[in-house]
Every structure is written in structure tokens, then in C-alpha cells.
């Protein structure tokens, strides 16, 4: 009887041990993961083997050596003799970007049909290791072990993109490389570079040097975007920069090694102030004095989707010199970037200036164009032909659909999902990039606790992104993308704050099966990746811990309601001008500002410890929300 009890105890211990094997925090979540009891302890000297035919063996070795030696002090060498980490080409493994990863008592096996799959398998391997693997120096006292597991994985869609706006604020070549590294870690494979806008031209065009000599620089400004004073034409233009063609070649090679293609965007006909600063005769408004915009507001959005501009920042569709200049630009862009698409922008072209132009009226009569949408369509179709003549395909924001879509054009749908759904039904390639889900430059928490911007997309909303929305023809949906516009992002730290963790949400949406997505699991995994980012020195936002605040008028008093976005949080608040701790009242139901109180302070707690930001909510600001 005692022996039987002992055996039963051992069995229960084994089951308990298996149940307690921690599930690694993998983002994006793989298609299939199976864990088993046990873990593999990495040796101090790690032997790695590669199948014959793996073309980027040297790059994979470089990645392994850099990370293992830096953080773990593990030496890595190539050796087929008793290799503990093996890379194997397996043509039967699935799609070209798929991979299989196995960890057992023999070590680690990563197999895939291509180098891309092997690379993605390696990114998952890093996430199976403790967060300290991301450290920039050796970390002592870490058990460098991997859980026994079997992973089969492949992406949901082919286009998994992030857009970086380098036009509004310039990011150096090395900063873009860091951005590429962070993308690659989460299996993104398209970097969309927004290279031109009213605030800067960032690409060397050798035949048109004035584009960068004049268009790449503006006056230095610090403060709140949109409220800067207008530049004096004579003040020094010292802020900015551009990429030489050699810089771009270096970035292209760096990205390609990480299986990322770079999409160049030349944003026309609107957003063209930097071009017009160099070549003012290309607008429909002769005599206008142009300079690169320095961050003062000249475009206005009064509401209802309408907007207007104080200055004509468009290229003129009726000016033949415009098309000659664009032919020169796209000749060099097409020769430089290997990607099949060139993005021509096409968004937010204010047509009020065209309506006043005699040249546009003559164009409309000559080409039988009935309205301004058809004028823009005329321009887009001519640009499409120029791009096609360089052996490339054209992509544009969904405004290129207005007035008629150019044959063969691809649509990047940003104004919600409607344009992308319509374009797919018209059998045009589509990248879904709706501002309602994937604009990661917008507020991710309460505006009173966040850097200023112009709209809101909270993390949970971003996680609901579906790159193949209902009603779209999936055969024409290339994939999905998040966009990081940089008007207000003066530094890399600010850019990282806006990007993460929402870029985790988009990464999972475009890679993982829709059925594998789970909000509670995702939040738990995010928190583990915060630990990884702390080790790596990457900034991120904790706004998901901050409550969502709603206000209404109750009789003559302001009533505040709050709800949390993530589970297992307690909200504590104060009206007495002192920051609340967990001994202050806990929010349970809507609260009313007491007479004499001018400010509500809010702090979330978990397990007795503060988490998220201290929110300071002045009554005067909350009253404005009621009026709105």
C-alpha cells in the first residue's frame, strides 16, 4: 500500500510538472505548438550545423554568435559533429516562409523550405529563451534553457508591413537599421519608407540635385507640431537630411538579409512642398514663394472628412514639365529599389487651387474631364504609365480610386477598410492599412496622459485588425500594414513609444491564424516582451494599463466612468490633489466630481503595486469633452 501510494505520488508529480511547464510568450503566436515535459540546457560551447544549400549560412552564424556571446557568454562554432543546433532545408515543410522548430533531449532543429523560413525559426528560438538573451552585455545567473516543444508555423498573409515616415522627421541610416532589426524579430517582411512630403525630400536623385540641396532641409524647431511659427525665408535651414543612393543600397542589403523588402514612396501630387521649394514652377499657382514646411499648420481639417490648405502644395496635372521631372525621378527610383512596386502616394490632394487654375480648366476641356476627381485620376494614370515604363507596378493610397482607378494599380487602403474591399472586388491588389486599426501614431491612451496627436486607436482595437476583412476578395489582398507617421515624433524614443506594443498586435494579425488570436493570452505575452524590451533598451508604452475615461453631465455635475482595457486591474482615485495609492478609494461605479474639486487623479494597481501612468484629469478639460 505504501509503495502504491508512492507510485501514485510520483505520477501526480510528473503530471504536475508537465502542467507547470511555462508557455513561452511567443509573438506572433504560431500555427501549432506542442510542449512536453522537460527542457534542454544549452552548453557553454554550442555546435551548429547547416545543410548544404543554405545560402545565408554566414549571416545566420553572425546572428547566433552576436547574441549568444553577448548576453549568454556562450561560444558558437560551426560543426556537424554532435551539433546541438541544426538548420535543415526541408522542401516538404510547407510554404516558402514556413518553418518547423523542435527542441528535445538532442538539442534544437530548425527546418524550412527556404532561408526565410530558417530565419523566422531563429526569431522564434530567441523568444523561447529567457528575456536576458536581448541584453547588450553578459547577464550572470541565467539558466539558458529551452522548453521541449514542437512548433509548426507559417504566415497568414504575404505582405506584413510597417511604414516609417522619414520625411516629417529624418531618421538616420543607423536608426533605420535598428527599426529593421525590430521588425524582423516579429516576422514583418515589408518596410514602407515614406521618403517625401511637405516637410522633406529624403532620397538623392542624381539628375535633380536641388531636390535634396533645398528640399531635404528646413528651419530647426522644437515644441508642439502645427503650432510652430512660419519660417523666415532667410533663416538657416539646418534641420533634416537625406539618404544617398549608396545609403539606400546599404539599407536594401541590410533589410534583404533579414528577408525584408523596402517599398519606396514618392508622395504626389499633394504633399509636395519639398519638391516645390526646389522647383516652384511645377505648381498650378505661379508666383507662390515656396519653402520646405517647418511644422507650421497650413492644412486644415474642419470635420466631416473635408480639408483645405492655405497654400497650393500640389504638383500641377496640367504642367508637362511635371511629368518630365517625374520620369527622371522614377527612372532612378526604379533602378535603385528591386521591389516590384513603387508607391506614388496620391492622398490628401486639396483640389481647391486646381479649381482656380486656367491651366486645369484647359486640361479638362482638352481631355474631357468632368470634375476634379477625374483631374487627379488623369494625373495618377499618367504616373502609372511612367512607373510601368520602368518595369514596375504602381501602388497608392486609396484616393487613387477617385475618378477611376489606373489599370493594374495596387491600392493601400488607409481610410478604413471600404476602399480596399472595393478595390479587391475590382480585382486590384490591395494592402489593408486602415487608420481605424493600424495607424500607430495616434493616441493609445487618454489624451490628457499622452503626447499630443489627432485621433485614437487603443491597443485592443489594433488587435482586432483583420487584414482580410469580410467582403474583400482574399485572392487580391496582399496583406496588411501598420503606419507610423512622424509629424510629432522628434526622437527614436518617441517613435518606439508609439509603435510598441501596437506593432505586436499587427504582427500577430498578419502572421497568425485568426482562430489563434486571443486577447487575454496576448496581453500576458506582451508583458513578457516588455521584459525583453527592457533588456534590449527599446522604449514602449504602458498605456494599455490606463483606464478608458468617459464623462457625462449628471444634473449639473460632471460624472466620470472608467473601464480597463486589460484584465485584473484595480483603479484608485483621488479628488484631493494628492496622487492616489491603493489605500485611496477604489473605483467601482461612476463617480461625480465633488463640489470644490478641480482635478481627478487616477492610478491603476495590480496585486497591490502601481502599474501604468498616474493620470491627472482636470475638471475643465473633462467639461470640454461633454461639450463635444
Question: What's the CATH code of the domain at 84?
Answer: 3.30.379.10
In tens, the pLDDT along 168-208 reads 999 999 999 999 999 999 999 999 999 999 999 999 999 99
Tens digits of per-residue pLDDT, 476-525? 999 999 999 999 999 999 999 999 999 999 999 999 999 999 999 999 99
Of 266, 222, 271, 219, the C-alpha closest to 240 is: 219
With a pLDDT cut of 70, the percent of the chain lying above it is 96
The whole-number pLDDT of residue 13 equals 37
- Domain end residue (candidates: 500, 515, 530): 515
In-domain check, residue 125: yes
Q: What is the pLDDT of residue 128?
A: 98
Of the residues 101, 123, 153, the one at which a domain ends: 153
Is 255:262 a contact under the CB 8 Å cutoff?
A: yes
At 548 the pLDDT is 97
Question: Do the domain assignments include residue 399?
Answer: yes
**CA angle at residue 383 from 381 to 385, to 5 degrees?**
70
Q: How many independent structural domains does the chain possess?
A: 3
Using the predicted structure, report yes or no on whether residue 18 has a pLDDT greater than 50.
Answer: no
Within this chain, do residues 338 and 438 fall inside the same structural domain, yes or no?
A: yes
**Which structural domain, as residue segments, surrounds residue 46?**
23-153
Q: How far apart are CA 282 and CA 275, in angstroms?
A: 8
| Co-location of 205 and 299 in the same domain | yes
- Residue 5 has a pLDDT of 38
Q: Which residues contact 1 (CB under 8 A, 6 or more apart)?
A: none
Inform me whether the pLDDT recorded for 428 exceeds 80. yes
The whole-number pLDDT of residue 628 equals 57
Assess contact for 539 and 497: CB atoms under 8 A.
Answer: yes
pLDDT value for 12: 38
Residue 22 pLDDT: 58
Q: Looking at the predicted structure, is the pLDDT value of residue 344 above 70?
A: yes
Segment 365-421, tens digit of pLDDT: 999 999 999 999 999 999 999 999 999 999 999 999 999 999 999 999 999 999 999
Q: 23-56 pLDDT, tens per residue?
A: 789 999 999 999 999 999 999 999 999 999 999 9
Residue 628 makes CB contacts below 8 A (sequence gap 6+) with none
CB burial of residue 431 (10 Å; 0-12, 13-18, 19+) = buried
Please write the tens of the pLDDT for every residue from 148-166: 999 999 999 999 999 999 9
Rounded mean pLDDT of the chain?
A: 94
Instruction: Report d(CA 531, CA 67) in Å as an integer.
Output: 17
Same-domain pairing of 559 and 441: no
With 70 as the cut, is the pLDDT of residue 337 above it? yes
Same-domain status, 588 and 499: no
Is the distance from CB of 622 to CB of 551 less than 8 angstroms? yes
> Would you call the peptide bond into 269 cis, given omega within 30 degrees of 0 as the criterion?
yes
Where is average pLDDT lowest: 150-164, 213-227, 261-275, 316-330? 213-227
In a domain, 539, yes or no: no
Same domain, 174 and 44: no
Report yes or no on 11 lying in a domain: no
User: Is there a contact between 487 and 225 (Cβ–Cβ < 8 Å)?
Assistant: yes
* Average pLDDT estimate for 85-106: 92
Given a cut of 80, whether residue 6 has pLDDT beyond it is no
418 and 385 within one domain = yes
pLDDT, position 9: 42
pLDDT at 143: 95
460 and 318, same structural domain? Answer: yes
How many C-beta neighbours within 10 Å does residue 427 have?
9
Q: Answer whether residue 538 is part of any domain.
A: no
Kindly state the average pLDDT of the residues 581-587: 97
Residue 38 domain flag: yes
User: Is the pLDDT confidence value at 322 over 60?
Assistant: yes
Residues 6+ apart with CB under 8 A from 32: 151, 152, 153
pTM of the shown model: 0.94
**149 and 170 belong to one structural domain:** no
Looking at the fold, whether 187 and 109 belong to one and the same domain comes out as no
Domain end residue (candidates: 496, 515, 534): 515
Amino acid at each position: 500500500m505504501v509503495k502504491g501510494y508512492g507510485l501514485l505520488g510520483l505520477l501526480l508529480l510528473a503530471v504536475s510538472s508537465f502542467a507547470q511547464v511555462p508557455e513561452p510568450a511567443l509573438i506572433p503566436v504560431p500555427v501549432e505548438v506542442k510542449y512536453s515535459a522537460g527542457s534542454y540546457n544549452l552548453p557553454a560551447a554550442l555546435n551548429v550545423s547547416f545543410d548544404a544549400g543554405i545560402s545565408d549560412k554566414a549571416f545566420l552564424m553572425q546572428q547566433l554568435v552576436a547574441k549568444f556571446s553577448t548576453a549568454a557568454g556562450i561560444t558558437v562554432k560551426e560543426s556537424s559533429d554532435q551539433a546541438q543546433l541544426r538548420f535543415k532545408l526541408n522542401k516538404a515543410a510547407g510554404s516558402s516562409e514556413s518553418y518547423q522548430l523542435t527542441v528535445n533531449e538532442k538539442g534544437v532543429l530548425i527546418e524550412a523550405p527556404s532561408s526565410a523560413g530558417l530565419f523566422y525559426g531563429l526569431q522564434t528560438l530567441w523568444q523561447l529563451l529567457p528575456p536576458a538573451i536581448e541584453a547588450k552585455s553578459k547577464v550572470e545567473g541565467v539558466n539558458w534553457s529551452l522548453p521541449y516543444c514542437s512548433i509548426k508555423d507559417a504566415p497568414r498573409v504575404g505582405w506584413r508591413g510597417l511604414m516609417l515616415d522619414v520625411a516629417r522627421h529624418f531618421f538616420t541610416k543607423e536608426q533605420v537599421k535598428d527599426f529593421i532589426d525590430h521588425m524582423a524579430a516579429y516576422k514583418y517582411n515589408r518596410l514602407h519608407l515614406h521618403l517625401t512630403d511637405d516637410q522633406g525630400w529624403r532620397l538623392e536623385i542624381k539628375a535633380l540635385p536641388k531636390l535634396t540641396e533645398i528640399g531635404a532641409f528646413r528651419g530647426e524647431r522644437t515644441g508642439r507640431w502645427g503650432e510652430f511659427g512660419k519660417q523666415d525665408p532667410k533663416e538657416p535651414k539646418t534641420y533634416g537630411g537625406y539618404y544617398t543612393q549608396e545609403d539606400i543600397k546599404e539599407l536594401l542589403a541590410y533589410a534583404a538579409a533579414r528577408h525584408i523588402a523596402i517599398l519606396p514612396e514618392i508622395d504626389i501630387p499633394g504633399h509636395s512642398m519639398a519638391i516645390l521649394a526646389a522647383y516652384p514652377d511645377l505648381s498650378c499657382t505661379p508666383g507662390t514663394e515656396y519653402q520646405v514646411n517647418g511644422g507650421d499648420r497650413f492644412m486644415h481639417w474642419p470635420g466631416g472628412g473635408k480639408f483645405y490648405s492655405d497654400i497650393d502644395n500640389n504638383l500641377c496635372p496640367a504642367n508637362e514639365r511635371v511629368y518630365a521631372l517625374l520620369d527622371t525621378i522614377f527612372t532612378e527610383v526604379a533602378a535603385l529599389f528591386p521591389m516590384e512596386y513603387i508607391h506614388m502616394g496620391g492622398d490628401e490632394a486639396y483640389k481647391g487651387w486646381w479649381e482656380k487654375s486656367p491651366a486645369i480648366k484647359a486640361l479638362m476641356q482638352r481631355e474631357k474631364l468632368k470634375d476634379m476627381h477625374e483631374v487627379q485620376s488623369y494625373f495618377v494614370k499618367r504616373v502609372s504609365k511612367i512607373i510601368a515604363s520602368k518595369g514596375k507596378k504602381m501602388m497608392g493610397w486609396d484616393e487613387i480610386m477617385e475618378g477611376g482607378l489606373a489599370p493594374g494599380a495596387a491600392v493601400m487602403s488607409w481610410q478604413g477598410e471600404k476602399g480596399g474591399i472595393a478595390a479587391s472586388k475590382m480585382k486590384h491588389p490591395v494592402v489593408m492599412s486602415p487608420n481605424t486599426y493600424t495607424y500607430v501614431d495616434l493616441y493609445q491612451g487618454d489624451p490628457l496622459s499622452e503626447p499630443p496627436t489627432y485621433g485614437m486607436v487603443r491597443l485592443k482595437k489594433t488587435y482586432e485588425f483583420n487584414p482580410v476583412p469580410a467582403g474583400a476578395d482574399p485572392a487580391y489582398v496582399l496583406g496588411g500594414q501598420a503606419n507610423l507617421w512622424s509629424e510629432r515624433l522628434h526622437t527614436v524614443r518617441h517613435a518606439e513609444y508609439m509603435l510598441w506594443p501596437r506593432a505586436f498586435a499587427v504582427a500577430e494579425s498578419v502572421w497568425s491564424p485568426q482562430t489563434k488570436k486571443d486577447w487575454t493570452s496576448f496581453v500576458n505575452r506582451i508583458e513578457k516582451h516588455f521584459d525583453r524590451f527592457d533588456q534590449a533598451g527599446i522604449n514602449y508604452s504602458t498605456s494599455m494599463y490606463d483606464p478608458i475615461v468617459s464623462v457625462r453631465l449628471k444634473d449639473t455635475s460632471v460624472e466620470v466612468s472608467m473601464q480597463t482595457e486589460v484584465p485584473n486591474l484595480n483603479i484608485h482615485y483621488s479628488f484631493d490633489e494628492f496622487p492616489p495609492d491603493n489605500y485611496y478609494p477604489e473605483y467601482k461605479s461612476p463617480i461625480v466630481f465633488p463640489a470644490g474639486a478641480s482635478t481627478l487623479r487616477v492610478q491603476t494597481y495590480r496585486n497591490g503595486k502601481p502599474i501604468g501612468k498616474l493620470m491627472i484629469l482636470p475638471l475643465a478639460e473633462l467639461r470640454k469633452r461633454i461639450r463635444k
